[in-house]
A and B are shown apart, each in its own frame.
Chain A
């Protein structure tokens, strides 16, 4: 009897539900204004920048630092505003590729950003840069290093270094500068490679392996481990103790970097030289707990304000650095390398590319980028800017982002290699054996 009515009611209910849903969906679209700057418009007056960094999850620490640097760059640019351009910054969280991809699409279609800036995480950037490419939006990569980000896309400008150059630079340093300092011939050198099994670690390790295998040196240990779930590195250290390499390349995050060294001390594993590559080894949070034991540890990175001779920078660059430091301190943030790279990448983009671009289209932005020449001494990070042209195999890559070898010395990272860029001489090469160290207690 009433099944008919039941049916009608049910259908009516579902239809209402669905209609409401559809309407909710559709509403955002109706309210959406047209982009302020069209791709074929005149010179840019307002620019909406989407900042896409991991702010939650395992990469929140470095991602937040990079975002903070970006925020300060935009803030400073708007305050000085020499070109009459107003920049609006919108940020989105990108803890993983899927959320990042949704984030990119949201920034572009919902927030109408003209350019996306990111990403800290190489895995996220591998998904989000192509996602922006499909929506015809420029992607400025200030902080992620994976080789593929620039190679597989046509819309990416990378202001920072690529992982291939980092891994190769680490191996090169061991085979040349370090071998010489240790007094070992290249053919006799034994290298251990320990790395995290994430994109960051593996892409750098691959480049290092390639370089070592094409030399006469020998790779005696090759170990990877998951950074997020490793609570014990003693077995890796004992392997190192057995094989007695001249140099260890360690690609790590902060927690496992600290653990590696604390356990090395506990187990008394002596290593003549350890070369970190970016990531954890470049952070103050890595060196502080190790105290004086950090002295002499190498790190291969694009340089940062913390490692170069700041006095040699131009006065303008020094002022810029002061501003950055003041603002970071005011907000109770910590200034890490990623703050520097995030800041400087955004700063160069805003000051050198945006004012000279005819529009926000990828082609116009790339054309403006092709003319950028920033000297190393004009940059707070100590590396300059010059982007590979569209015909380059690695187009959009900053060719002046060249790694340097730094060394922890008295709680500071100092550039020690190549010699022409060095601000300090090597210390602790080889590293003193644990038996000769005073019972070191970090501060």
Chain B
């Protein structure tokens, strides 16, 4: 049993393909000199990481979380506050945020592991709102709605760069980290457990899968990675406030990116970010905000109704067809 049993690409093939893609992504700043496109690209990288993080608990373990903005926010605020108050560089703060978020994620995992379907969704939603309310009202710590501005102090040693390409590589590093962890989990015993639990919890339990442990670890890892994305976001935008870090709408968007790309697969969420973020930008520019969101809502509806496996399923279909074509050619040649 594999998480992505429909994958037409062998693990070795996937590894090589990923390495090739990585090399290409490394070259992007050499080719793309236009700030706006690079900016958009960095946003895509951060979203890809965030959706990948969500996917570990949402896709692999099957718990649709609508509260992941909370972990993103914890990451953003932890690294930023450590920097502002104690002068600790975000390069270290990012790990502090990840640890804190992992603890919160584990806590949430412990209290929600037996909830299913809409109950789980609503519990995570409520959790996200609790974190948001605390964020808005604990003004002594977070400055509330006034937000925190990262002073441009020190430069690279504080994850603050003048050149966007440096953010591109930071974002890329983040993506490699999240995708790496995701791939590791997919192949590990934990990955098999999670899928077994997702598909049939009772059967899995009777086969000796440790339910609570698996779910809690998945929740903690997912939260930690989301927090890492939050720290990078904070260093990139250099201003954070509750509405842009812990709001409910953000949680919806995180899940949406993963779903559009294809949840339960390692590369689906990455593909999702590459589709959704530029599409959203394009629609906004072409149609203006309201109309763009009408299209957005409509697309979301259509995708989950007609293609709940996401865009990655389409890509796989394409790969499979192509391979069949090549195979038949070879046969014909022989």
B239 CB contact (under 8 Å) in A102, A130, A224: A130
Query: In whole angstroms, how far apart are the Cα atoms of A127 and B237 in the complex?
Result: 7
Query: CB < 8 Å: which of A21, A56, A202 contacts B146?
Result: A202
Q: How far is the CA of A358 from the CA of B288 in the complex (A)?
A: 34
Give which listed residue, B9, B137, B147, contacts A6 with CB less than 8 A. B9
Counting chain B CB atoms within 10 Å of each CB, the highest count among A2, A110, A135 belongs to A110
User: Chain A contacts of B147 at CB under 8 A?
Assistant: 97, 123, 126-127, 199
Which residues in window 134-159 of B have CB below 8 A to A?
A: 136-137, 139, 144-147, 149, 152
Contact with A along B26-45 (1 / 0, CB 8 A): 01100111111101110100
Give complex CA distance A110, B241 in Å. Answer: 27
Query: When chains A and B are docked, how far (Å) is the Cα of A109 from the Cα of B35?
Result: 6
Asked if B20 contacts A15 (CB within 8 A), the reply is yes
A393 to B225, CA, bound (A): 41
Q: A22-B24, A25-B41 are in contact. Are A201 and B33 (CB under 8 A)?
A: no
Residue-wise interface mask of B (307-323) relative to A, using a CB-CB cutoff of 8 A (1 in contact, 0 not):
00000000000010011
What chain A residues lie within 8 Å of B293 (beta carbons)? 56
The reply to whether the CB of A93 lies closer than 8 angstroms to some CB of chain B is yes
Contact indicator B239/A126 (Cβ below 8 Å): yes
- Contact check, B24 vs A134: say whether CB atoms are below 8 A apart: no
Question: Which residues of chain B from 1 to 36 have a CB within 8 Å of any chain A CB?
Answer: 9-10, 12-14, 16-17, 20-21, 24-25, 27-28, 31-36
Residue numbers in B under 8 Å from A15 (CB-CB)? 20, 24
Tell whether A98 is near chain B: CB-to-CB under 8 Å: yes
- In Å, the complex CA distance between A194 and B182 comes to 47
- Which of A14, A26, A95, A127 is the one whose CB lies under 8 Å from B17? A14
A6 touches B145 (CB 8 A): no
* A197 in contact with B145 (CB, 8 Å): yes
* A7 lies within 8 A of B136 (CB): no
B166 CB to nearest chain A CB (Å): 13
Contact between A97 and B319 (Cβ–Cβ < 8 Å)? no
Separation of A26 and B137 alpha carbons in the complex (Å): 44
- Cβ distance B266 to chain A, nearest Cβ, rounded Å: 14
B202 within 8 Å of A by Cβ?
Answer: no
How distant is the Cα of A390 from the Cα of B43 in the complex, in angstroms? 34
A198 CA to B242 CA, complexed, in Å: 9
Chain A residue nearest in CB terms to B33: A29
Q: Using Cβ atoms and an 8 Å threshold, which residues of chain A touch B146? A: 126, 146, 148, 199, 202-203
Q: Given the complex of chains A and B, what is the CA–CA distance between A182 and B31 in angstroms?
A: 70
Residues of A within 8 A of B (CB-CB), count: 57
Residue on B nearest A133 in the bound complex, by CB: B152
Instruction: List the A side residues contacting B139 at CB < 8 Å.
Output: 202
CA A108 – CA B41 in complex, angstroms? 17
Question: Are A13 and B322 also in contact (CB < 8 A) when A55-B289, A97-B244, A197-B144 are?
Answer: yes
Please give, as numbers and ranges, the residues of chain B lying within 8 Å of A93 by CB-CB distance: 284, 288-289
Neighbouring B residues of A97 by C-beta, 8 Å: 147, 237, 239-241, 243-244
CB of B243 within 8 A of CB of A123, answer yes
| Nearest-neighbor residue (CB-CB) of A94 within chain B | B289
Which bracket fits the contact residues of B? 35 or more
Q: Tell me, yes or no, whether A10 is within 8 Å of chain B by CB.
A: yes
Question: In the complex, which residues of chain A have a beta carbon less than 8 angstroms from the beta carbon of B137?
Answer: 197, 224
A19→B27 CA distance, assembly (Å): 11
Assuming the contacts A3-B10, A130-B239, asked whether A25 and B31 have C-beta atoms less than 8 A apart, the reply is: yes
Report B291 CB to chain A, min CB distance, Å.
Answer: 9
Residues in chain B near residue A6, CB distance under 8 A: 9-10, 13, 323
Q: Smallest CB-CB separation from B15: which chain A residue? A: A7
B145–A105 CB distance below 8 A = no
What 0/1 readout, one digit per residue, does chain B (235-261) give for beta carbons within 8 Å of chain A? 001111101100000000000000000
Residues of A within 8 A of B117 (CB): none
Shortest distance between the CB of A105 and any CB in chain B (Å): 5
In whole Å, how far is A110's beta carbon from the nearest beta carbon of chain B? 4
Is the pair A22, B31 in contact by a Cβ cutoff of 8 Å? yes
If A28-B37, A29-B34, A29-B37 touch, whether A11 touches B326 (CB-CB below 8 Å) is: no
Within the assembled complex, what's the spacing in Å between the Cα atoms of A99 and B285?
12
Do A123 and B241 form a contact, CB below 8 Å, given A14-B17, A93-B284?
A: yes
State whether the Cβ of B290 lies closer than 8 Å to any Cβ in chain A: yes
B281 neighbours in A (Cβ, 8 Å): 102
Q: Specify which chain B residues have a CB less than 8 angstroms from the CB of A96 in the assembled complex.
A: 243-244
Q: How far is the CA of A18 from the CA of B243 in the complex (A)?
A: 34
Which residue of chain A has its CB nearest to the CB of B42?
A102
Q: Which of A1-36 contact B (CB under 8 A)?
A: 2-3, 5-7, 9-11, 13-15, 18-19, 21-22, 25-26, 28-29, 32
Residues of B within 8 A of A (CB): 9-10, 12-14, 16-17, 20-21, 24-25, 27-28, 31-37, 39-41, 43, 133, 136-137, 139, 144-147, 149, 152, 162, 233, 237-241, 243-244, 274, 281, 284-285, 288-290, 292-293, 319, 322-323, 326-327, 330
A-B contact pairs, 12 of them (CB 8 A): A18-B20, A18-B25, A25-B32, A26-B34, A28-B34, A28-B36, A32-B34, A55-B290, A56-B290, A60-B289, A93-B284, A102-B281
* Besides A97-B239, A199-B241, 13 other A-B contacts (C-beta < 8 A): A2-B327, A2-B330, A9-B323, A10-B17, A11-B17, A13-B322, A25-B28, A93-B289, A97-B237, A98-B237, A130-B239, A131-B237, A202-B139
A residues with CB within 8 A of B: 2-3, 5-7, 9-11, 13-15, 18-19, 21-22, 25-26, 28-29, 32, 55-57, 60, 92-93, 95-99, 101-102, 105-106, 108-110, 123, 126-127, 130-131, 134-135, 146, 148, 152, 197-203, 224, 226
The 7 A-B residue pairs with the shortest CB-CB distance, nearest first, are: A56-B289, A127-B239, A29-B34, A109-B35, A18-B24, A110-B36, A199-B145
